[in-house]
Structure 1
Amino acid sequence: MGAPGDDDDDDVVQIQRAKNPSEPCIITINCPDKTGLGCDICRIILDFGLYITKGDISTDGIWCYIVLWVFPHSALLSMRWSNLKDRIQEICPPCSAAFFFNQQPTTRSSPVYLLKFCCLDRKGLLHDVTQVLCELELTIQKVKVTTTPDDRVLDLFFITDNMELLHTKKRQDETCERLHTVLRDSCISCELQLAGLEYEYNQSISSLSPVLAEELFRCDLTGNEECYQALSPDMTKLKKINVTLDNSISPAHTLLQIHCADHKGLLYDTLRALKDMNMKISYGRFSHNTRGYRDLDLFIQQKDGKKIVDPEKQNALCSRLKLEMLHPLRVIITNRGPDTELLVANPVELSGKGRPRVFYDVTFALKTLGICIFSAEIGRQSASEREWEVYRFLLDENCEFQLTSIVARNQIVDRVRRTLMGW
């Protein structure tokens, strides 16, 4: 059975629902082209908790046709297919003559709201709240979580609404009611309002030490067990990556071929890098997972419509893509005074957008390990000529893990990384 609108040939976005859980859903986009459209679409799909198993992209520079085969990352995921369709359709260029004559990028900033609640602490609390916000399509921009000595939690979530309805009383009431349902009797208070100066005040986070910053943002990994990011066998697999450019196949395009380990958001990471480097994709194919690896074949051009023939530009592109495959996310665990701190970082798009569902995945991993979060914050930091989104979690010592143990710390990092990578 198809999603609403599947039979309408005029629809820019069509979603063909799977007949059974073993089959993928098929998303088809047919609209005017723009640089970075594939990246924006993949970001939304990742935000909805979907996994792209295969994909085809084709464009003549004016009109594009994209087909993506997707599965939910979790069988428990409650999908709102009509909302997904609306979100994708919103970012597709309009089918009007005016667009082709004036292809200026349009930016729309959503108002930021402050969700503030106080409740009694318990294991998994932060993830349960995050799950509600994700299901409601509310994006977490910033967060400040603190635990008081009497085991109460004060949470400040700065959020935006992907549905642009949070200004209505109905939407606000729905949000608070859903949170009350999850928090139950432990909820002491819950408030939702437009963010004011609090948002500007909480934009920055406490600075990292030079040693931590170098470890978190550097461009190589090591297998040293005493390293903050000790490699598991899965991470070692990431180093088996091959990126090649070939200008002999097409007279007008450079063929980019990537062979690398599969991970959650792989296509998004690839297209994000190409978008940030102003590369245009004319044709692309994203193959099925084969023994944990993927092959991508992309015919690309520079922004000026020319092939990539400059050796320096070729090396820069290959190096950037290898970096994205080797380091899609950074995870380390260290000491912060007498406490144990988990840090996660991911690159921010040049457009200013961060990676979806990172906070959700990290809190889920910690919940499954039975680790409580004493405090948490999200901020941004510039390093290595890029902007990064940094997540900081102070872990509660009252858990099953001996947080001072190297073995336990590596186990925590490994579980968090596996969850983020979709392994």
Structure 2
Amino acid sequence: MGIPSDEVVIIRPPERPEDPSLITVSCPDKTGLGCDLCRVILLFGLSIVRGDFSTDGRWCYVLFWVVERGRKATRWDLLKKRLVEACPQASSLLGIEIYNFIRHQESVTEQKPQVFLLKYSCYDRMGLLHDVTEVLCELELTIWRVKVSTTPDGRVFDMFLITDTRELLHTRNRQEETCTHLRAVLGDSMCACDIDVASEEIAACLQASVSLPPSMTEDMLTQEIRDESYNSVPSSSPLSVSVDNSLSQAHSLVQIQCHDHKGLLYDIMRTLKDYNMQISYGRFDAAENGNCNIDLFVVQSDGKKIVDQNKLDALCSSLRMELSSPLRVTMVSRGPDVELLVANPVELCGKGRPLVFYDITHALKMLEIRIFLAEISRHVVGDREWEVYRVHLGDDHELCASRDKIVKGVTKMLMGWH
């Protein structure tokens, strides 16, 4: 396969305002590359409406047609930089291109980024937590844990465990930049802002717990979910996942028909990455009516097609579950008050789904519902790790919206159905 361009990533603006932008990626291949690229695109709030993938096992060529979905204007130069960072690098030796790609089973453990503790206090107001979350996202600070509390007199004490994509938060300039942006959004109500390296004891809480919070049961996270309150995708939407081994001697064809949602391609690629599958060729199309068709020619890590029936059944089952319930949203009673629960699976490499907390707080701000307490934690159920968001709503939430309206509002925001 020839190299179409010297540039790893090329982003072409649309010819007409209503057309999508085109992202072209040309780089050495590796297992899970599609997942990593889709995750970056999702992190920037873009929706993929069409995709094309091809590889000869060494070099890959990927096309994404993307559209903006209501967030602030995309920082295309920064997006390009992050996509390039997600790609394996090629080096040259004696005039011959050497492709430095690392297969999944040979990959080295990524160095964990330094964890920082952000603390600030201010006076509460509607949508405050969402505004803070938006600032942190814009600054490329990743939220790993959050502890939010509000006193009866309206004073807010918030603590965030964060990491910095730019790896500069240890510097005074970067810390001052963060506090300045927070102060701009919080105004005179901000009383304090401190950023310190998290102690080993505090950073240790990033480890997943085997015990679930009292308000959550394993039924919410297990694969045999039939309760419609946990099912994100409308029951009337088509959902079909099948594997055909008859069309290719070297590849298994995974065929998917489903309803579109934000991060759909990421959910598919994440599942294939966790199963250590490599995509040799694939095509994704999202129709105007919201239905999608995906064809993926895949091989296992040994380069062979999937012939073991148990592996085929497990892969299809996992894909159906990820497409029918990529996120679990429900509300439970907590004494006289209620708690909003949102859960999503974590990649095997430890990365959580992007922008979940941003979307939760955005939906509640739109519904004019105050957040009294909020926590993010990780829990292991069976052989899976889950990221769990617990949001304790103010006791005036029933004046704003019913429980059903809150669940639907948060779900629509998370799924991009608005």
Give the partner amino acid of 1:119.
C
TM-score normalised by structure 2 residue count:
0.92
Maintained 8 Å contact 1:142/1:202: yes
SS in 1 for 2:135: helix
SS in 1 for 2:339: strand
- Which residue does 2:135 correspond to in 1? 132
Call closer, same or farther: CA 1:94–1:101 in 2, change over 3 Å.
closer
TM-score normalised by structure 1 residue count:
0.90
Give the partner amino acid of 2:293.
D
- After superposition, the C-alpha distances for 1:38-71 in whole angstroms (9 at most, x for unaligned) are 0001001101111001000000110000010111
CA distance in structure 2 between the aligned counterparts of 1:172 and 1:271, rounded to whole angstroms: 35
- Which residue does 1:236 correspond to in 2? 235
- After superposition, the C-alpha distances for 1:242-275 in whole angstroms (9 at most, x for unaligned) are 1111111111001110000110000000010000
- Which residue does 1:393 correspond to in 2? 391
Give the partner amino acid of 1:139.
T
Maintained 8 Å contact 1:362/1:416: yes
Q: For 1:251-270, list aligned pairs within 5 A.
A: 251-270=249-268
- Which residue does 2:114 correspond to in 1? 111
Measured after TM superposition, the shift of residue 204 of structure 1 is 6.2
Q: Does 1:42 align with 2:41?
A: no
- Which residue does 2:202 correspond to in 1? 198
SS in 2 for 1:183: helix
Give the partner amino acid of 1:412.
I
Maintained 8 Å contact 1:217/1:330: no
Call closer, same or farther: CA 1:230–1:345 in 2, change over 3 Å.
closer
- Structure 2: tracts of 5 or more residues without a match: 92-96
Greater mean deviation of Cα atoms: 256-265 or 145-154: 145-154
Measured after TM superposition, the shift of residue 216 of structure 1 is 4.2
> Which of 357, 364, 376 lines up with 1:366 in the alignment?
364
CA distance in structure 1 between the aligned counterparts of 2:205 and 2:360, rounded to whole angstroms: 24
- Which residue does 1:83 correspond to in 2? 78
Measured after TM superposition, the shift of residue 288 of structure 1 is 2.5
- Which residue does 2:8 correspond to in 1? 12
Q: Does 1:70 align with 2:73?
A: no
Q: For 1:23-422, list aligned pairs within 5 A.
A: 23-74=19-70, 76-96=71-91, 100=100, 104-106=106-108, 107-196=110-199, 197-201=201-205, 207-209=212-214, 212-223=217-228, 229=229, 235-238=234-237, 240-399=238-397, 401=399, 408-422=402-416
Call closer, same or farther: CA 1:230–1:207 in 2, change over 3 Å.
closer
- Structure 1: tracts of 5 or more residues without a match: 1-7, 224-228
- Which residue does 2:94 correspond to in 1? none
Measured after TM superposition, the shift of residue 9 of structure 1 is 3.9
Measured after TM superposition, the shift of residue 72 of structure 1 is 1.4
CA distance in structure 1 between the aligned counterparts of 2:222 and 2:72, rounded to whole angstroms: 32
Measured after TM superposition, the shift of residue 84 of structure 1 is 1.0
CA distance in structure 2 between the aligned counterparts of 1:416 and 1:241, rounded to whole angstroms: 22
- After superposition, the C-alpha distances for 1:92-138 in whole angstroms (9 at most, x for unaligned) are 11102665486542413211111110000111000000011111111
Call closer, same or farther: CA 1:418–1:338 in 2, change over 3 Å.
same
- After superposition, the C-alpha distances for 1:260-304 in whole angstroms (9 at most, x for unaligned) are 011000000001000000111000001132411100000011111
SS in 2 for 1:263: coil
SS in 1 for 2:298: strand
When the two chains are superposed, the root-mean-square deviation of aligned CA atoms in Å is 2.1
Percent identity over paired residues? 52
Measured after TM superposition, the shift of residue 398 of structure 1 is 2.2
Maintained 8 Å contact 1:218/1:384: no
Give the partner amino acid of 1:345.
A
Maintained 8 Å contact 2:5/2:26: no
Measured after TM superposition, the shift of residue 168 of structure 1 is 2.5
Measured after TM superposition, the shift of residue 198 of structure 1 is 2.6
| Matched length | 404
CA distance in structure 1 between the aligned counterparts of 2:113 and 2:358, rounded to whole angstroms: 21
CA distance in structure 1 between the aligned counterparts of 2:387 and 2:39, rounded to whole angstroms: 16
Measured after TM superposition, the shift of residue 352 of structure 1 is 0.6
Give the partner amino acid of 2:21.
C
SS in 2 for 1:82: helix
CA distance in structure 1 between the aligned counterparts of 2:98 and 2:241, rounded to whole angstroms: 38
